[in-house]
Amino acid sequence: MTEPRTPAPVATDDPEYAANLRRATLASSIGSALEYFDFALYGLSTALIFNVLFFSQDNPAMATVAAFATFGVGFVARPFGGLFFGVLGDRLGRKWVLVATILLMGGASTAIGLLPTYEAIGLWAPILLVLMRLLQGFGAGAEQAGATVLMAEYAPVKRRGFFSALPFIGIQAGTLLAAIVFGLITLLPEDQLLSWGWRVPFLSSFVLILLALFIRMRLRETPTFVELEKHEQIAERPIRDIFTRGLPGVIVGIGLRMAENGGSYMFQTLGLAFFVAVAGDQADRSLLTWGVTLGSLIGIFSVPLTGHLSDRYGRRTVYRFGAVFMLLYSFPAWWLLSLGNHAVAIAVIAVGIGVAVNSMLGPQCAMLPELFGNRHRYLGVAMAREISAVLAGGLAGVLGAYIIAVSDGNWILLGVYMGTLALITTASTFLVPETLRRDLTRTDDAIKVSRNEGGADVEATTVTITAVADR
């Protein structure tokens, strides 16, 4: 099947194009803000509230491990959501899938604020919490992938890195909002915080849902998907395609995400739990959240900046900088957190999120969609993002909390853990081809499987990764 010809570029000052670009940016940003507001809020609550309210307090340390396990359950559901909605996104279009995911994800998050506690209904409390977390993760599994694909396909080619990164300010805004709200509610007396105060932020998610729905219902389908429909190239079997032809891109995408996603959740959630374990009664909950707050503030500038830099110097170069920075930062960061000093801990978390993590997130916004062909781009990005979310972000809390519990807060082991994630991502930047300004109407992937002499694709278990030179 022949490739569609590249559509003539649309001037960014064209009124209709500019209006659609604004809508796409808003639709992606608000969805990102809601997702990360919910996830950051859940992570903060996991370390300091859910372990007390939803689990037996016979063994507080293991209650914390169990609470982080429910946090990880959401990540387990995400690949299944990414698979389900990713197929729909590649067959029906990006817009309506994004409408469905925001309803599912936001509805589950709001319902968490209505759940009874362990004291009220016993074991049913953690069961219901896990169920809501599964629904939340199922919707979130395609939400961020959809936002990433949507913006990359709308953005001007020469500034794709910058424009694709703009909606991810929503990630910083959502994380920032969660940290501020959580910081405010922790100022309440403990009895009020644990009785009703923690519910308020989850219930307030409903406002973001309504706003996101209003904008997304007015959004038009992306130009590249319209082009795909025009040439009758919609994938008939996208799942088969992504796990054969698209498998190398998924594998490398997973590697690229290990440090970014794992590091983000280690600093946001595990860092707080580790500090509380080290400082004990001296730990001030409201002060600790300022690290996440400041990191998100830095990210509002560092994400679009690194996206812009990737337009000038290439995606791989900027991405590699972030991965190496985190590698060098891993051991000093956890050693400094082990000192039990609030000011130092705030600075460590802020730099970890704002610089180390977001230096990778900026170029990633355009790089992941550029890795995959037009026929299975949504599914490819979703699989790369969400499988890595299980392996990196989901395990970070559970494994990290277990390390803290059994090692009596050994910072060296946590440094090894984070350093390993950074090494995987650094190595992955040497496996991926440069995708800068790649034509997104192409149906082939930037990374292809080898072919045998007869021209057929080799089995997925024996593919080799080869860089494809861009036109």
With cut-offs at 50, 70 and 90, classify the pLDDT of residue 459: very low
**Domain residue spans of the chain:** 19-214+221-467
Lowest mean pLDDT among 156-165, 427-436, 459-468: 459-468
Q: Which CATH class is domain 19-214+221-467?
A: mainly alpha
**Pair 380, 250: CB distance under 8 Å:** yes
Residue 5, CA distances (Å) to 79, 220, 228 in order = 33, 21, 11
448 — phi, psi (to 5°)? -115, 160
Residue 314 has pLDDT above 90, yes or no: yes
Q: Where residue 256 falls among pLDDT bands split at 50, 70, 90?
A: very high
Least confident span in 53-67, 204-218, 363-377, 405-419? 53-67
**What is the C-alpha separation between 94 and 303, in angstroms, rounded?**
23
Is the torsion defined by CA of 368, 369, 373, 379 positive or negative? positive
Which pTM was predicted?
0.78
pLDDT of residue 137 exceeding 60: yes
C-alpha dihedral (103, 105, 107, 108), degrees to nearest 10: 160
What percent of the chain stands above pLDDT 90?
Answer: 26
- What is the C-alpha separation between 342 and 352, in angstroms, rounded? 15
Most confident of 42-46, 213-217, 306-310, 439-443: 306-310
- Tell me: the pLDDT tens digits for 39-77? 778 777 876 788 778 877 777 777 777 777 777 787 788
* Alpha carbon of residue 94 to chain centroid: 18
Mean pLDDT, the chain, integer: 82
- One-letter identity of residue 439: D
For 226, the token pair is: 């319209």
Q: What is the pLDDT of residue 455?
A: 37
224 and 325 Cβ atoms separated by less than 8 Å: no
Predicted confidence at residue 235, as pLDDT, reads 65
> Residues 362, 303: contact at Cβ < 8 Å?
yes
Place of tokens 């308020």: 200
Give the dihedral sign, CA 376/377/379/384. positive
* 308 has pLDDT over 90: yes
More confident residue, 2 or 384: 384
Mean pLDDT of 99-109: 84
Q: Which two tokens stand for residue 289?
A: 């959240």
CA–CA gap between residue 280 and residue 160 (Å, rounded): 47
pLDDT of residue 301: 93
Range scoring the smallest mean pLDDT among 30-39, 241-250, 302-311, 375-384: 30-39
Q: Phi and psi dihedrals of 85, rounded to 5? A: -75, -25
CA nearest neighbour of 142 among 170, 91, 173, 102: 102
Instruction: pLDDT band for 466, please (50, 70, 90 cuts).
Output: very low
CA 393, CA 402: separation in Å to the nearest integer?
A: 15
Model confidence at 160: pLDDT above 90? yes
CA distance 207 to 218: 18
Report the pLDDT value the prediction gives residue 458, as an integer from 0 to 100: 36
Q: What is the pLDDT of residue 460?
A: 35
What pLDDT sits at residue 356? 95
How long a stretch of residues is the chain?
471
pLDDT for the residue 435? 92
